[in-house]
Structure formats: structure tokens, C-alpha cells
Structure 1
Amino acid sequence: MMRFRGLAVAALVGLSACSAQERNFVGAGGTGGAGGTGGEGGAGTTTPSSASTGTSATTGCMRSEDCFNGADDDCDEAVDCADPDCAEGAVCLTAPTNFQPGVLVDATEPCPDGFTAGETLLFRGLSGSGCEGCGCTPNPTDCAADLYLYANTSQCEADGGLRGGTLAKRVGFPCDGVPINNGFVIWGGVRVAPFEVIQSCTATGTAVPAPARWAESKKLCHASAAAGCGAGEVCVPKLAPAEQCALVSGSATCSGYGRRESDWFRGYTDTRTCSSCSCTASGGDCNYVRVELGNDYSCFDHAQISQGDRYCEYAYSPPAHLVGTPTNPTCTARTSLSGSLDPTGQSTLCCVE
């Protein structure tokens, strides 16, 4: 975390039973002010409470003080922390300049009594890489074979390297009945070159950036707008029901204030876009396909030849075509991500442990 050196933050003020070095909200701060006399038509004996126990019909004063609303509810000229009624449940807390004191709860929890002046959602651990939404459908694999004719049988038999002959025709699965030697050329055999594998996929869907996600979310419940404390202090519950913290915008230091310091954020900006979906086909093959050589303008039943092999016998005006079943490809969806996902509203959270 970047730290602003020399940032002035005030230490928590401890009660007589808690030293300032503890930097703990619980028990921190000064005592409340001296209590005044009750209002006209006064109520009976009061007990420390933050909830009213009724209103006098004569004076309109509450029978006891609401300790966190910034008002003199019981008309004794002592407000909130300064009212003896609040001595057991409220305490003045020294608040560092620009820091917002409060308690930290889960983002979905309600704010507890005494911390209802406002809420700030905090987040950390932003993620959201890659794109989603693309799909691919494999198309049937096709095959093609180039056939080479030998001038005579001796030439065919001598071609141990399987590189000879003259290119005659490229054939596929349909048979057109046309002889590979055009019906007139004298020939002595045929060689089949390695097959060309024709594989493809059809892209489906629309690419969108993966959702932005926070690994952790919390809520800082701001200390209520209470009164009755000195300058630079706030009146808060003495025994907070949640982890007590203070928040400041930007990168700061908690030195002399909280025992635990962490970076949080309040939102993010998302400029990510994804390119159109595309697909890469792989794994298709023609390993189970053969060339079928016919005879006398008929496509069938004379001989079958594997890719990269030869046939050194004679057939009269032989057409040729492919037979067998190719292996279909597998598909990999492709898209590219541009732009960025960036957290915003960096804040420093200082908490007591």
C-alpha cells in the first residue's frame, strides 16, 4: 500500500481503565458531561438507555435520553454522551481528521444501533478475466486425394519411394464415372498421395467479458450523528456489536490509530470488449478412408488403395473415388479481450483487533 508520510491521525483516547496505546474503540474517549436537572413535571428515576421509555404529557420530554440522535430528549440540558443516562452505553471517541468512524459488517447485514448515520460499501479482490459466450459446432470432415498415373507397370513397381507418376486427377467421395486416364491413355498403375484433410467448425454465440467479481464485500456503518463530546470527538456505543473501524479515502496510514490496515475499493470501471467469436478445428482425419478404383467406366469393385500407396495392375478406363468414414474435428472457440477492469475509489480501512 502507498503511504502518505506524515499524515496526522489522532490516537484514541482511553478511559482510566484503558491506556491510549491500546488504540481500542471499546472504552476509548472521555466521560460524558455533567447531568442537568429534569424538565418541568419531571419523570421518575431514569436508567441508562438509548431508547425512550415514554413522553411526559406535560412537558413533551422523554423519560430518558436517546444517546445517539444528537438531541436533548429528556430536557436536562445534556445531550447524548454528555447525559449521565448514557454513561453506561456511550463513549466519546477521538476521531482522526478526515476519518469516518464506524463498525464493519457483512455487506448484507443491517447497521446496528448507534451506527446508522450512513453506509459505505467496500470491496476488494476484483477479478473478471477472459470472455464468455462463444460456442462452436464441428462440420463433417471432408477428404481429397491426388492420383498419379504411371506410364507402365515397370515404372509403377520401381517407384519404391512413392514419388513418381504424372498427376492425373483429384478425387473426393462422389464418383463422376470419368476414367482417371480419360479412357484412352495407356497406363501401368496409379499412386495415391497423402489425403488432404478438410476440417472446419461453425462459430456460435456472442462473446462478452466475464462478469466482474469481488472476492470480498463489507459495509462500514457510520457512527450516528450523536453529540455531547468535545471537538474532534464522536459519541458512539461503548460496546460495539461489530468490528470497530475508521475509513478514509485514498492511501493512508493507520499509525497511532488502528492495529490493522487494509486497502478497499468502492467500485470499478470496466472498458473491456470481446472480439467476434471464431473457431479452430483440430483432430479431424481421413485415416479410415480409401481410394476405390473402378473398371470400364464403373466406379466400384475393382481395387481399394490406401493413402500414400500404389496399385500396379491394369484396369480398363477406371474411374476412382473415396470410400470410408472420416473422423470429425474437435473445435476450440476463439475470441480476444481488449480494454481493462480497474477498481476505483481506493480507501484505507483502519480497524482495532
Structure 2
Amino acid sequence: MERWVVSAIFVSFLLFIILFTKINYSTPTQDSLFLLVMAQNISKNGLDNWVIASPASWGIFLPIIQSISSFLGEDYLRSLMPTFALSFLCLFSYMLWKFSTSMGVEIRKKIVIIIISLFVLITTPLFLLNFFYIHTNLISSVFFFAALTTFSMSSIEKEKNWLVFSMLAFWGFNLSRIENPIFTLVYFGMSLSFNKLSYKSRLIYLTPTILMVIFWYFSIARMNLGTFTDILDSSRSSTIALVYFLFLVAIIMSNFKWVEKRLLKNLNSLLFISLIFLLAWMFNEKPQHMTANLIGVLKNLFITGSWGAFWYLFLLSFLISIITPPFHYEGLFKFGIPVYFMCLLVLGFIRKLPYHDIWSDSANRMVINIMPIALLYMQLKISSNFASLNNHTIGTSL
């Protein structure tokens, strides 16, 4: 890349940060105040003596970044969320360009697809709100999108350097919200079925992330917490760490051929079937609670969650995709998106109260993680059809 391009990007980002430092469009709620209190705790006490909120109730990534504001003499970093939003729009455009290029889509059509995608993102009410909302949702979504797309790109381009970015993104994702390691574990399992990593690559690229989660959640279990917002207790934190340890053991044992051929090859199907049986058991155990969760999620997606028409369009495109030829690696999307919502319902089982049909409900905000992936899938289906049309035209002309 030319130096002037890099310089222009750097200056543009700098001006953007200055603009949103001077013009404050931040949208805070009570949750935002808890996160900012955590930031103050970190700047003054490190990871000790938590007041009101702690890592057992909120992800640590945003409070760590916001703790810098204390040293700058500010109440909080006003430009942080808009900067993440701009970074995400650039990241989404770049990854959509890369995926479309791998399909052989023409430049003009790629530009049109990217413009349409950006328009959808900035006109979806809930997603636009999170560009300024002081919370963990947008940050979590950025890391999740980066983690999954770079992991997939490593398989498409046969380039392992993509896995470095993927694992770094998974680190950020796991530290953004306390339930994210559950999603990570499921998607690690699914990705291993689609991305045929060698045993050495599995050890090099997956182990550091697994060890980080184990270390962090054992650390949470040993912290002196007890704030009234805590969700994780010592047993829950230790359980998450223990499950990750068992997954690490499975990765180490995956060198055995029977594990690689019979387990890893079919891991996505096993996970999907296991989630179906788990949800069936949960609906049997708490029928009213789980039914309320399901209704709450559906109402938020299509009526009360401030998603506009996005999920109607996605549902239509998903149904159409069933009868159209699949593109390479499409299975990861077809499995991954439904699995995310299944995991969302599983998490709802352990809640005391069911999900609410309001935009600010935690389940509705967690949907922000998967929305960009769903949009990418919709656009890749369009790209694959463009590519098929190009190939058909070339073949006809020949």
C-alpha cells in the first residue's frame, strides 16, 4: 500500500477521533454507568477492591480501555464507540471485498454490494444506536466478526497468517462479555470441521486462546468480588475454566487418527444435534420459562427489537439459499447462524427471569454479534450468483 494512502487513513482516523471528542453523541444507560465504574476501579485499584460492578458481571475489555480516561483527566473516552464503529465499517467492507474476490466477482459489482451492505448497517436502528451506546455489544460484535471471517479466510487462501488475526480477535471477544467464551467454544468446534487445520496448527493457534480463557476465569473465581451485580460465582467461573481445560485435552489428543477422522470431521453435526437435544431437555424442564425466552427472542427480531426489516430480509434470503447452489464454505454460515440462536436460548435457561421483548434486553443486544455475519452471508449469496452468472456468460460466449 502506498505511503500516502496509509497517511491519509491515519489522518482521517485522527480527525474522526478529534471530532467525536469535541462533539459528544454518547448514549449511556445504567449499564454504561456500571462499566464506567469498573473503569474507575481499574485505574485506582487495579483488579482488586471492586465496587458496584466486577468482572463477574461484565466483560473486562471495555473497562480497561475506558480506564485510560482517568489519566487523561476525562470522565470517559467519548470517541471510543464511534471509533470502533468506523473501524468496523472499514473491516466489514474489506472482508466482504476479500470474500467476493475469492468468488471471482467483478470490481463494479463488488463496489455495489459493499455500498448496499454499508447502507443496511447504518440504517438498521439498533446497530446504529450501538455506534454511540457505551456498552460491550458493538465491541463484542467487531471482535466476533473479525474472528470468524479471518478464520474462514485462512481456509480460502490457504494462508495461516490469517489465523493470527483470528485468535487475537477471539481474545478480544472472550474478554468483552462474560458469556462469550461459551460461543467461542461452540464455534471452535464447528470451525475445526470446516477448516482442516493440521495438528500443529491446532496447537499453535488454538491453545493460546484456550489457555487465556482458563487463566482468566480461574482468576475471576479467586477474586474478592461480591458486588450486587455479579452474575458469575466461583463455581460458574471454575466450570467454564474446567470445560476449556477438557477442550484443550481434546485438542492435544486430536493427533490420534480416530479422533481426527471420526470426531473432528463430524464435530459440527455432533454439536448441532447435541444442542437440539439439550434444548429439548430444557423446554421439558422449564416449559413456560423457555417458551417465554423463545417468544421474547422472536418478537425482538421481528417486532420490538429495533431491527427494522433486517431479519425479515435475512429469513427470506435464508429460505431462498436452501434451493440455490451453495458456495464454497457456505456450510459454516448455514450451521453457524442457527447455532448462535440456539446457544442464546441455552443461556436463557440459567436466567431467573426470561428474555424481555424490548431492544435493551441482553439477548437482543447479543444478537448484534451475529447480525454482521448474517449480512455477510446474504451478500455472499448475491456474490456467488454474480460469479455464476459471469461464468455462464463466459462459457456461452466461448
TM-score (norm 1): 0.19
- Structure holding more strand per residue: 1
- Determine which structure has the larger helix proportion and give its number: 2
